[in-house]
Every structure is written in C-alpha cells, then in structure tokens.
Amino acid sequence: MYDAGHYDVAVIGAGHAGIEAALSAARLGCRTVMFTINMDAVGNCPCNPSIGGTAKGHLVREIDALGGEMGKTTDACFLQSRMLNLGKGPAVHSLRAQIDRRAYSQIMKKKCEQQENLELKQAEVVAISQGENGVWLVDTRLHARYTVKAVILATGTFLGGKVFVGDVAYESGPDGMFPAAYLTESLVKLGLSLRRFKTGTPARVLRRSIDFSGLEEQKGDDPVIPFSYETENPGPNRAVCYVSWTNEETHRIIRANLDRSPLYAGMIEGVGPRYCPSIEDKVVRFSDKPRHQLFIEPCGLDTEEMYLQGMSSSLPEDVQLQFYRSIKGLEHVSIMRSAYAIEYDCVDPTQMQATLEFTDWPGLYGAGQFNGSSGYEEAAAQGLVAGINAARKIHHQSPVILDRAGSYIGTLIDDLITKGVSDPYRMMTSRSEYRLVLRQDNADERLTPLGWEIGLISPARWEKFCRKQEWKQQEMKRALSTVFSPSEALNDILVARGTTPVTTGVHLADLLRRPQIRYQDLTLVDTTRPADIPDAVLENVEIELKYEGYIRRQKADIEEMRRLERQTLPDNLQYDTIDGLRMEAREKLSRVRPQNIGQAGRISGVSPADISVLLIYLSRLRGEEKHAKKEEPTT
C-alpha cells in the first residue's frame, strides 16, 4: 500500500449520485477525489435513455434549483421532451426527456474533468476503514491508500454485482463493467447492515431490424420546456419514440419458459423493484391482461441501438429473442445487448441521518442505489445532499436538511431514513402529502434561496431568479387589483369556456380562480398585461390563484408538521425503558432513532398512541430537567 495523498472528500462511484456529490463538494471548496471502475462509464445510463418522468421530473427541477448539474446536462443532450400529465393538474405535471446517453455521459465527464478541486480517477476501491483522529482510509486494488475526511459511497449496482440471464449467472457490474467485488467485505467489517436488491433492464436492439411501418409514433412537445432554470433555448426535438404491444403469443412463450427464469427458479435472492417488474413478472402477476405496452426509444443520435422500455427480462437469450420477435414491428429484430437482471449490495438506509451521513460512522455518507433507491434522478438528488453536507461538516457549518414540506428531495430522503425500504425505492407524486405546494413549476422559488445561501448558485443565476420573483409579485398584485367590466367580449370568452357570464365588474384573479379559465383565454380582454412577462410567471400565478384553498390548507398542514419536527428527541433515548410504548414501536424507534417527534410519527408501526406516549414522556423528561436545574446549588 502506498500513500496516495490526502483529500477532503472521496466519492466512490461516478454515476448520477457520485457526480452530483463530487461536483457540489468540490464547488464548496473541498479537495475531492472521485473513483470510477471504468473511465468511459462516468454518468452512464445503463438502463433507460431518459431523464425525468412523474415525480422524477420534480427531482431534476429541484436538483437544478439547488445548483446541481442533472437538469442542465439533460437540456444539452435531449432528443425528445414531453411535459407529462398536462390536464391532470399542476401538482402532477412532470417533465421527461429522452436523451442521447453517450452525449450525456461525455458532458458529465467533461464537467467533472474541468471542475476545480475535483480529481477523477479510474480505480476499484477495495476497502474503506477508519483511521486515527476521525479520518477515513480508502484503498484501491492497485495498492493506493487515500486519506480523507469524508467518504461518500455511491456504488450503484457495481457493489457485489451479479448478472443473471436465464441459468447463466456471473459476477459483473452494469453494462458489461467489472463489479466492485471486494468493498462489501470492509463495509460488513465496519458493522453496516447490508442487504441485497435486484433490478433489471431490457434488450437493446438494432434500429434497422425493426419494422416501424405499423407502429404508433410518439412525438415530443412543441415548444420544448427545459429542465434547468438556466437554459434559455433548449432547441427542437430530434427524435421520435414508438409504441407497440405484446400479445397472447408473447405471453405463451414467456409462460412456457418460466422454469428457465432465474427469478422463478429461485436463483436470485435480491429483492426487485415493484414499480419496474420484468415482463415475465407482468405476465404472471397480471395474467388476465391480454397485452402489455412497450416503448421503443432511441439510445442516441450516433447509434442504431434502440431501448425496449417495458420489456426487462432475465429469461435466457434464446427465449428473449423468441418473445421479442413475437411482437409487432420486432418480427425480425436483432438484439445487440441482451436483457439481464442484476443483483447488488446496498445498505439499510435507516442507519442514516437526513444529511445522509451514517449515525454511527461520522464522516461516512451514502447516496443512490447504495441507499436502497432506484433511478438516476433519485440518485442524483441524494448525491447532491450528501456532497453538500460532507462539505459543510468539513467546514464546520450547520447541516443542510431538506424536509418533506419543502421538496421531493426531502420527501425521498425522509422516506428512506425513516420508513426504510423493502424494495428499490422510486419517487412518485403519491409519496408526497404536500404535492400541491411541491410543484415542478415552483422548485426555484422553494429551493434557489437555499442554493444561493449554500453557495452553489452563481450571481448571474441569482439575479435572474430575483427578477422572476419580482415579476411574479407584480403580476399577482395586478391580478388581484385589475377589474374587467362585464363586456360582451369577456362574456363571449366565458361562455365559450363553459362558465357563467358576468353582469358586474370582476377581478382578473377571480376569473383565474375558475377551473375553466386560463390566462391565454383572456388575452383579448386583458389589455394591461405586460407584453414581455414570461410564460412561467403567468403559469405560476395562475396555479397559485386556482389552487389557493388547497395550497393554504397544505401550508397549514406543513406548519403542523414543522411544529412536530421542532420537538427534538434526545439521541440517547432508551426506547426499551419507556412504559406504554408497544413492542413494535420500541423496536422500530430504537432502530431508526428519529431526530424528532414528526419523524417518529412517520415510522411505520409507530401509532398515534405511541406518539402520545412519547410526548408525555418528553414533557416529563423536560420537567425533571427543569427541576434538576433548579436544585443545582448556586455558587
């Protein structure tokens, strides 16, 4: 082992979590080293060639609002962009983009290479251990030892990775990479509680072997809305996707070969994600469905590889070819990369704090799939939070904790560390109880002031943000004070939109509160509207007026939640000794060790009755402390 030098932060893994972690730590002034097993796989997308989607799009916007990279890089290499769920309400509007995966990886790698304070190294980390005086030692396969103040584990599916295709199984990372075969042992030695998860990916197929003639096309939006608040002109869509369906024959082939599936043969011990079932899972679990949908998506502009979304599988290669070829358009398909399942080691995230630092291992952080989540966006969000907090701890600054009421990122982290995970965790809008407040259109308003305070937002970006907020305030004021007289022109609009005409003067704000009326409907009569006002501002104001009642109530809920969050629980509380707590609650509370009453109440298995018991116990504890203080002799 040779001494490879001293750094502030070591990031293990250069995927979506690692990149955001390393970039933020380096930007906040920490000397950072990031390790990747393969230098050509930095920011790789080993599964779907797309970023965003429901709730995930919210995460990307929030990462961007805090000063992360994912949104900007996506805007720079997207092939097709769509705002999902238009018409279902602003809480669930979500942006998704197909990307050129090689371009994405290239851009991210270059950003890391150019980042001051950051060194990118190809090396397999084989062990980490605690050194003296609180430092961490990071050893590589080529006998280098790095001494660092903080380690961020972002190992993805590399850690103890094992690939399954039918009855063939071998140790491997994703996308044909080497796995990280040794690191797990040192984590076990540290005492971390680990587990094994599984995920899977469909085949990549050759574009010119597909017959697109009978397939439905799926086009992008026009105009394209960018992810990043910094992107001015995202440019046009450059590709289309296609839709096809499985059929009875596909299902017959799958059923006939189930005994050759490693999952059904019991070879795989890892727990797979419920939201991302393999096609054999779908066929078995939903046997009454005559067909399942799939999307054929381009992997990039400079490649013929196409991704078959919805068709992940771990059946043998020959079976894959057989059932893919039973699908319309794929009759003569040529597989370039086979579908596979991959098993990997990850950690029980209830061992972590909201900073993503391990409670019992100061200076050790985790992010991404290592924490039991799944998805590029979930990973990037955690990477950003881990990177920021590692840097702040090194600089002796207070931790940055995002709560459920302020962001999807906070919801994601709180779910992980409080509820734990039983299968890979995917973000969904249904996971947020405050979703009319946590919208993708106001992520900047919610988080950019924090990003600015942390130091990840440039002065130019800050100025732009402040200008937008000013626009918004002025427009809100104008909407509340502008009165339209009951003209024929106005009533024509109202009637055409299916809402009642007016007989007296009416405020612009009151018209916008009507579900049927949008800003653009009123352009004709709204003569005092500033011509250069950005659409994003109008959208924002309209939503806040239309959903005012709901937003107000959710904000009241948020106040209540934050009140409970302020009731902190002592670190050393012995839950076993508290009378009246149910056994299950004692056990869960001892394991999760919540920071406050609010978090305690969200632990599954902790009932409102248990919370009452805790509150009573806390107030008694405080009473005793007060009493004890009073009795202290004064000198």
Partner 1 sequence: MQTTIAAIATAQAPGGIGVIRISGPQAAEIAARVFHSHRSDIREIPGYTALFGWVSDVNGDKADEAIALRFRAPHSFTGEDVVELSCHGGLVILQQVLAAVLAAGATPAGPGEFTRRAYCNGKMDLAEAEAVMQMISARGTQAARAALSGHDGALSRKIGALRQELLLIASHLAAWADYPDDDVPQITEGFLKEHLSKVKADLHRLLSTFDAGRVLREGVDTVIVGRPNAGKSTLMNRLTGTERSIVTEVAGTTRDVVEETVQLGQVLLRLSDTAGIRETDDPVEKIGVQRAREKFASAELIFLVFDASQELNDEDRQLLTMSEGLPSIAILNKTDLEEKIDKEYIKSNNKRIVYISARSGEGMQELEQAILETLHASELDPGEGILYTERQRQDVSRCLQAVEEAENALQAGMTLDAVTVSVEAAVDALLELTGEKATIAVVDEVFSHFCVGK
Please identify which residue in 16, 419, 446, 461 interacts with partner 1, judged by CB under 8 A: 419
Query: What residues have CB less than 8 Å from 196, skipping those under 6 apart?
Result: 160, 269, 270, 271, 343, 344, 345, 346
When the beta carbons of 246 and 389 are compared against partner 1, the nearer one is: 246
Amino acid at 168: V
Work out which of 1, 39, 40, 88 binds partner 1, going by CB under 8 A: 88
Which residue lies nearer to partner 1 by CB, 12 or 271?
271
Nearer to partner 1, 140 or 278 (CB): 278
Q: Does 433 bind partner 1 (CB under 8 A)?
A: yes
By CB under 8 A, name the one of 110, 289, 332, 622 that touches partner 1. Answer: 289
Q: Is 84 in the site for partner 1 (CB under 8 A)?
A: yes
Among 103, 267, 428, 615, binds partner 1 (CB under 8 A): 428
Nearer to partner 1, 309 or 389 (CB): 309
**Nearest CB to partner 1, comparing residues 137 and 268:** 268
Listed in sequence order, the residues at least 6 apart from 161 whose beta carbon sits closer than 8 Å to its beta carbon are: 171, 172, 173, 174, 179, 180, 342, 343, 344
Q: What torsion, rounded to 10 degrees, do the Cα atoms 75, 77, 79, 80 define?
A: -10
Q: How far apart are CA 298 and CA 439, in angstroms?
A: 29
Q: Which stretch binds partner 1 (CB under 8 A): 7-15, 83-91, 483-491, 518-526?
A: 83-91
Name which of 457 and 517 has its Cβ closer to partner 1. 517
Angle (nearest 5°) at CA 376 between 373 and 382: 60
Based on CB atoms, which residue is closest to partner 1, 248 or 360?
248
Tokens encoding 260: 């050759």
Q: Which of 47, 110, 53, 107 is nearest to 80 (CA)?
A: 53
Cβ of residue 516: shortest distance to partner 1, in angstroms? 6
**Residue located via tokens 């805007």:** 75
* Phi, psi (degrees; rounded to nearest 5) at 112: -65, -40
H or E element, residue 393:
helix 376-394
Tell which one of 6, 110, 143, 285 touches partner 1 (CB under 8 A).
285
Q: DSSP for 323-341?
A: HHTTSTT-TT--EEE--EE
Using CB under 8 A, pick the residue from 39, 256, 489, 609 that binds partner 1. Answer: 609
Instruction: Report d(CA 325, CA 304) in Å as an integer.
Output: 18
Q: Using an 8 Å Cβ cutoff, are 297 and 249 in contact?
A: no
341 binds partner 1 (CB under 8 A): no
Residues in the chain: 635
Helix (H) or strand (E) holding 392: helix 376-394
Per the rule left: phi > 0, alpha: psi between -120 and 50, beta: everything else, 475 is alpha
Shortest separation between residue 422's beta carbon and partner 1, angstroms: 10
**232: contact with partner 1 by CB under 8 A:** no
90 binds partner 1 (CB under 8 A): yes
Is the CB of 359 or the CB of 607 nearer to partner 1?
Answer: 607
545 binds partner 1 (CB under 8 A): no
Q: Which stretch binds partner 1 (CB under 8 A): 35-43, 82-90, 353-361, 568-576?
A: 82-90
Smaller CB distance to partner 1: residue 238 or 514? 514
Site string for partner 1, 547-586 (x = CB under 8 A): x--x---x------------------------xxxxxx--
Measure Cα distances from 64 to 75, 252, 338, 384 in Å: 11, 46, 34, 10
Report the phi/psi class of residue 29: left, alpha or beta, with left for phi > 0 and alpha for psi in -120 to 50: left
**Contacting residue, 49, 166, 277, 424, with partner 1 by CB under 8 A:** 277
- Give the interface size with partner 1 as a residue count (CB under 8 A): 54
Contact 336, 187 (CB under 8 A): no
Q: Which stretch binds partner 1 (CB under 8 A): 154-162, 225-233, 382-390, 599-607?
A: 599-607
Site string for partner 1, 307-336 (x = CB under 8 A): --xx-x------------------------
Which span sits near partner 1 by CB under 8 A: 57-65, 179-187, 520-528, 601-609?
601-609
Residues that bind partner 1 (CB under 8 A): 48, 54-55, 84-85, 87-92, 94, 273-277, 282, 285-286, 289, 291-293, 295, 309-310, 312, 419, 428-433, 435-436, 515-516, 547, 550, 554, 579-584, 602, 604, 606-609
